[in-house]
A and B are shown apart, each in its own frame.
Chain A
Amino acid sequence: MVDILATPFLWVVATIALYVVAYWGYGKWIDRNVWRSDAKKATPAHMYMDGVEYFPVSRYVLWGYQFKSVAALGPILGPFIGITFGWLPALLWIIGGNFFIGWLQDYGSMMLSVRKEGRSFGPITYEFTGAKGRTNLLAFVLFYLIIISATFIALIASFWNAFPGTFVATLGILLAGLLCGQLLYRIKMNVFAVTGIGLALVVLSIYLGVLFPISLPWGAWNLPVWAFICAIILYAAAVLPTPMFIQPTNYLAFYPAYAAIILILVGAVITPFTNTTIQMPAGPFLFDPQGILGPIWPILFVAIACGAISGWHSLVSSSSSSKQLDIETDALPVGGGAMLSEGLLALASLIAYMVLAPSFFVGRTNVTAWVQGAVVLTTPMLGGLTAAVLRTFFGLVLIIYALTVQALVTRFFRLVAGETWGESRFRALGNKHVSTVVGLGVPWGFAVSGSWWALWLYFGGANQLLAGLAIMLITIHLARVRAPTRYSLIPGVFMVVTTLSALVWQTGTFLYSVWAYLQNDNTWVLRNVRGPIQTDPNLLIVAVAINGIFVVVGAVLFAVGVSMAIRLFRSYSRSVAEARGKAPAAADGGTREEESP
C-alpha cells in the first residue's frame, strides 16, 4: 500500500466529515434558530394540493429529484479551471462554499418559496423590488441563458472532437430515447421492459462508438461543424413534445451518468489501495502561473460555481421542489442535502484532476482532463475494460450531462422569450421556432468564436451573481420577519461583490485585449478566441470584433447585475427599517407579527 498522505484519501475523508458538520451542525442550527421550521405547519403542497403542481412528495423522492436537477457539468468542469491556483485553494473553496453559502442558498430559497405559498422567484422579486426589479431579473436571466448555452455548446463540440467514439454513442442514446418514448407512450409497454431495452441499447451504443470512431477532416473548422450539429439536436429537443424526445432520452442518460459518479467516488476513496497518488501541486495559490486567468480572488470563486454554490439551484429550489415539500422540516435534507451531495461530486471531480500530471493543464484547453483522471481512478477497479472503452464511456458521460441540461435550458429560453416578447412589438421573437433559432444561433456564434474558459468565467460570473441575488432575496425576507439576517447577509454581500468584480475583471481583460491590438500586440486578442479565427491571419479583424462583443456582453451583464443588486440592497434597508418599528417576530411568514399588539 502506498503512503496514505500521498493519496487523496485523507482529503476525501476530511471533506466528507466537514459536510457532515455542515448538515447536522450548522444546518440544523440555522433550521431551528433562523427559519424555525415546523413539521406541523401546512406547506403549499397540502394547502393548494391539485395533484399536478402542488402535491406532497416523500423527502427521498424529492431529494433524488432535486439532486438530479442541480447536478450537471458545473461541478465537473469548474475544478478544471479552479485547479489553476493549486488543488488546495480549489478544495478549500469547494468546502467553504458548500459549508457557509451553497446549502444555505438552496435550503433558504426552498424555505422562502414555501413561506410565500410556493411562489417562484419572479413573483417574490416583484414583491420585494417592484415591477422594474422583476423586469431586471428577466433581462438578467435571458443573458444568463445565452451564456450557459454558449458554454455548453462549445464544450459538447470539444468533447465530440476530442473523443472520436462519443458521437456514435451519443447518437445511439438519442435514438434509443426516441424509440423508448414510442414504446412507452404509443405501444404502452411496461416501464421495466422499456428500461431493459433502453439500457441494452445504451451499452450497444457505447460499444458501437468504440468500434466506429468519427473524426471530422476539416482541422480548425471541426469545432464549428460539431457545434452546428449540436445546435440541430438541441433545436429538435426544444420544439418536439417532451414525452417524445427529451423525457425518454434524459431517463436513459440518467443511468450511465450516475454510474460514472459512483465509480469515480469509489475510485477516489480506494486510492490508498490502488496506489493512485496526487500529482498536481497544492499551490501556487494567489495567481495563475500561466498568466491567463488573473488573481485567485475573484476568479476562483466564479470558476468553481455549481460545486460550491450556484444560482441555478435557487431557481430549481423555488420552482417545483417547494411546491411538493411534504413538511417544512424536509427542506433541509432536500435543499441542503442535495447541495452538499453535489459538493461531493465536485470533490470527486477535483480528485480526478489531482491525480493527473500538471502537463494536462497547460493552456487550459485540454478538456479531456476529467476523462483521463476518471480513467486513472477507475481502471484499477475495472481492469477488464480497455482504456478506449473507459474513455468513450466517461467522454459520453460528459456529453450527456451537457446535452440533457442544455436541452432544458434551450426549452426554458424559448418559454422565457415567449413570455418577454409574445405580446410586444417584437412578437416574432416570441414564436417557438424563431426564439429557438435565436436561443441557439447567438450561443453558437459565441461558442465557435470565444475560447471555452473565457465563456466559462462569464457563465460562472452570471451564475454566481444570480446566487448572490437569491441570497439577498432570502435576507430581505428574514429581515421583514425579524429573524437573524447576518448568516445570509454576509454570504450574499460576498457573492454579489465577488461576482461583480469577476465580471469587471473579465470585461477588462477583453477591453485590454482590444487596446493591446490597437498598440500592435495581437497575442491578447488571439488568446481569447478559438478555432479557425485563432489560426487564420485573415480573420484577425473577426477576432478583434469578437473581443469587442465580449466587452459589450460583460458590460451588459455587469450593468444588469449592479442594477438588480442596488434594488435588492435598498429593499433590504427598507425592510430592516420597517421591521425595527415592529414587535419581535420569527421567520415563519410573519404570523407572530400579526399576533403582536
Chain B
Amino acid sequence: MADSKEPAKPKSRGRRVKEGVKGVFYGMAAHGHVTAALRTRMYLEHLFMFITLGDMLGVPVIPPYYSLRILPYAVPNIKSWKQRVFRERDFTDQVF
C-alpha cells in the first residue's frame, strides 16, 4: 500500500511562475473585493451573534427560548467572535 504521506514534489519553475502570475492577477483584480465581502459577512455575523447571545450578556434582544434554539449554530463561532469584538479598532483600519 502506498504511503499517503509522501513528501510533496518540489514545484517546477514553470509552475511557480504560472502560480505567481495567477496570484498577482487575482491580487490586483479580486483580492480587495473578496476581503470586503468577508468583512461585510463579519459584520452580519456580529449582529447575528449579538442577537443570539444578547440575552446572556444582559441585553434582552430576543426571548431566551429563541436564543436557546439558535445557540447550537452560534457556539462554533463564539471564539472568533470574541476575538474580533475585543480587538482594538480605529478609523485607520477602514482605509482598505
Contact = CB atoms under 8 A, between A and B. Distances in A.
Given A61-B27, A319-B93, A52 B88 contact: no
Interface in A521-548: none
B31 A65 contact: yes
Interface stretch (B2-10, B33-41, B51-59): B33-41
A138 B26 contact: no
A62 B34 CA distance: 13
A123 B33 contact: no
A475 interface: no
Interface of B: 19-33, 35-42, 80, 83-84, 87-88, 90-96
A122 B33 contact: no
- Which residue among A57, A61, A254 has the maximum number of chain B CB atoms within 10 Å of its CB? A61
A13 B90 CA distance: 43
B95 A60 contact: no
A163 B87 CA distance: 48
A68 B27 contact: yes
A65 B38 contact: no
Interface string A189-230: 000000000000000000000000000000000000000000
Contacts of A137: 92
Interface string A32-73: 000000000000000010111100011111111111110000
A316 B96 contact: yes
B94 A52 contact: no
Given A51-B80, A53-B42, A138-B91, 16 more contacts: A52-B42, A53-B84, A61-B31, A64-B26, A64-B27, A65-B32, A66-B27, A121-B92, A122-B91, A141-B92, A241-B40, A243-B36, A247-B37, A318-B92, A319-B93, A320-B35
Contacts of A241: 40
Rank and list the top 6 A-B pairs by shortest CB-CB distance, nearest first.
Answer: A64-B27, A60-B23, A122-B90, A61-B27, A64-B28, A120-B92
Contacts of A60: 19-24, 27
Interface of A: 48, 50-53, 57-69, 119-123, 137-138, 141, 241-243, 247, 250-251, 254-255, 258, 315-316, 318-320, 408, 412, 415-416, 419-420
B90 A123 contact: yes
Given A52-B41, A120-B90, A319-B96, A69 B80 contact: no
A247 B36 contact: yes
Given A64-B27, A416-B91, A53 B39 contact: yes
A412 B83 contact: no
Contacts of A123: 88, 90, 92
Contact of A65 (B28, B80, B91, B92): B28
